[in-house]
Structure 1
Amino acid sequence: MFVRWGQHDNDLEALPFILDEVRYNLLHRITEIEDSLCMRSENGQLLFAQSPGHNGWLWMSRSLAGDEEKRLLQELVNHLEGRSLPGISGAPQTAYPFAVEYSRANNLRHSTQMTMEAYHCPEVYKLSKVKGEASVATMQDVDVVAHYLAGFSEDAYGRTVEPESQLEPARGLIESGKLYLWRVDGKAVSMANIAHRSPRHGRINAVFTPLRLRKKGYASAVVAAVSEQLLAENITPMLYADLRNPGANKVYRNIGFVPNGQIADIGFSPN
């Protein structure tokens, strides 16, 4: 049996979840989104959360035995009957068995879209001096941020978009006051965004440096600066990194980010 849960419940404050919290940090954000579907097993050992139009996220307690895990996964598949699910995200050992059962029940194919490493940064390592400084983006930066978002879309998702289409998202990020730019002689050369703050973590995303400006330490510098800001707020920086990009993973590790486990993004498509 499954019951509804949300951000005002204590499911994300229970110790079994906190042990996996870095890897499943996005659940905090999903529970805040209106119209998200959030369900848990009656015993709280399985949590499912899906924001409209996106992959569902699936967490299961490490204490579950194999038979109980299989039973709960099958119950969840049955419970989701008739609901459109583009994909599932979770620890590989949880996401893949669910994908197999869900695909079989709904006559779908499943394929891995991305495998990410979840990192947290308890301490920022001292870096070699990089020219420039970090500052919060302003509306004067909207054009360059739109270009950076277009570049990030191509790097991260393989989607080519026109910078003009990113002007509105750029304005939104700037208005949030959470987007940081690394500037050299006043000109932006790299960016990083604080996507969300949860009780114990600050999630960083949208890290991007134009190709012509890479290998100069700018991405390391801006992520380190943002991380120091979060640590000063007594919350721990965390982020997800695509394992297909070893360069980015190396950058994060060199700053002080520690691996906390993988997340598989699995997509569903018609047979």
Structure 2
Amino acid sequence: MFLKLIHNDTAITEGSPFTSDEVQYNLIHRISEDPNSLCLKTPDEKMIFAQTPGHKGWLWISNDIPSKERTSLINELINQLAEVPLQGVTGDPKTARMFTEIFSKINNVQYEKDMTMEAYHCPKLIKPEGVKGEILKATEQHVDVVADYLAGFMRDAFGTTVEPSSQQTRAAAMIAGGGLYLWIVNGQPVAKANISHRSPRHARINAVFTPIQHRKNGYASALVAELCEIIESEKRIPMLYADVKNPDSNKVYQNIGFQKCGLIEEIKFF
């Protein structure tokens, strides 16, 4: 039996079993805010499924649930999702793979791993010193440069080549969201980063990017550190996800105080 999980549900509030894995599964907070999302929980609040329509579902199961019970719960969930289009699943590797093995056999689908990310939080910031430049909140006048950076981010992160012009609408939306910041040196942007979402105890940083010609100068580190200070002033803890295939970015985050909180694996169905 599954119950509906709502925004600020008791299953994800402070003191619930979920909070022990909250950094890993922070995106569940964001999904639960969407009135169109499908969010479910077990009555004991030790299993949560959350999916935005058209996207992979996120699946969390408390670590104290034994393997046999996990299998039973996953089978029950898959039965509940029988009429729901599911693009894939996201969760810690053990949970994501267990769900995938059962789901693929029942529904006769193929699958492949999309990405493995390390979840990080920053309980104590180590601010870099001696980095030239300053932070600036992005405005409408920066749409072109942000669109160019978004295209660069897609190339580096996903190997996808797109024209910067195709990213203008997204760039404008990110700027309008109020969380996008640039690092400025001699009046010119050299890096970007975004505070993409705030949950009750954390704020998530994403879209960190430095063009190739400006790398190895500490600009991204300095900018992310400044965003951490903004987040800390709100009495929240900074967190982010980093692709494990990018050791440079992982090192950058660790050098300014980010600590590993567990892996998240994305698996795509087709």
Distance 1:158 1:52 in 2: 25
Residues 8-27 of structure 1 correspond to what in structure 2 (within 5 A)?
8-13=8-13, 14-27=15-28
**In structure 2, the residue corresponding to 1:150 is in which secondary structure?**
helix
Partners of 1:49 and 1:57 within 8 A in 2: yes
Corresponding residue of 1:155: 156
1:68-116 superposed Cα distances (whole Å, 9 cap, x missing partner):
1111011111111132111100011111000011111111111110000
Residues 25-64 of structure 1 correspond to what in structure 2 (within 5 A)?
25-64=26-65
RMSD across aligned positions (CA)? 0.9
Deviation at 1:128, TM superposition (A): 2.7
Q: Which amino acid aligns with 1:35?
A: N
Deviation at 1:21, TM superposition (A): 0.3
**In structure 2, the residue corresponding to 1:53 is in which secondary structure?**
coil
**In structure 1, the residue corresponding to 2:173 is in which secondary structure?**
helix
Partners of 1:50 and 1:56 within 8 A in 2: yes
Distance 2:85 2:104 in 1: 12
Of 181-190 and 12-21, deviating more is: 12-21
Partners of 1:138 and 1:174 within 8 A in 2: yes
Corresponding residue of 2:265: 264
Distance 2:113 2:55 in 1: 15
Partners of 2:17 and 2:45 within 8 A in 1: no
Structure 1: runs of 5+ lacking an equivalent: none
Of 187-196 and 170-179, deviating more is: 170-179
Corresponding residue of 2:220: 219
**In structure 2, the residue corresponding to 1:117 is in which secondary structure?**
strand
**In structure 2, the residue corresponding to 1:108 is in which secondary structure?**
coil
Please say if 1:113 is aligned against 2:106.
Answer: no
Distance 1:231 1:185 in 2: 28
Structure 2: runs of 5+ lacking an equivalent: none
Deviation at 1:62, TM superposition (A): 1.2
Over 4 Å off, 4+ runs? none
1:2-39 superposed Cα distances (whole Å, 9 cap, x missing partner):
12111042110143101000000000000111310001
Count the aligned residue pairs: 269
Residues 227-242 of structure 1 correspond to what in structure 2 (within 5 A)?
227-242=228-243
Partners of 1:100 and 1:110 within 8 A in 2: no
Partners of 1:203 and 1:238 within 8 A in 2: yes
Corresponding residue of 1:3: 3
Deviation at 1:126, TM superposition (A): 3.1
Q: Which amino acid aligns with 1:10?
A: T
Distance 2:137 2:120 in 1: 23
**In structure 2, the residue corresponding to 1:19 is in which secondary structure?**
helix
TM-score (norm 2): 0.97
Distance 2:224 2:114 in 1: 25
Deviation at 1:140, TM superposition (A): 1.2
Deviation at 1:43, TM superposition (A): 2.0
Distance 1:98 1:268 in 2: 12
**In structure 1, the residue corresponding to 2:32 is in which secondary structure?**
helix
Partners of 2:182 and 2:192 within 8 A in 1: yes
Q: Which amino acid aligns with 1:9?
A: D
Partners of 1:133 and 1:184 within 8 A in 2: yes
Please say if 1:184 is aligned against 2:185.
Answer: yes
Distance 1:198 1:219 in 2: 23
Deviation at 1:223, TM superposition (A): 0.6
Corresponding residue of 1:123: 124
Partners of 1:16 and 1:62 within 8 A in 2: no
Corresponding residue of 1:80: 81
Deviation at 1:158, TM superposition (A): 1.8
Deviation at 1:173, TM superposition (A): 1.0
Distance 1:87 1:158 in 2: 20
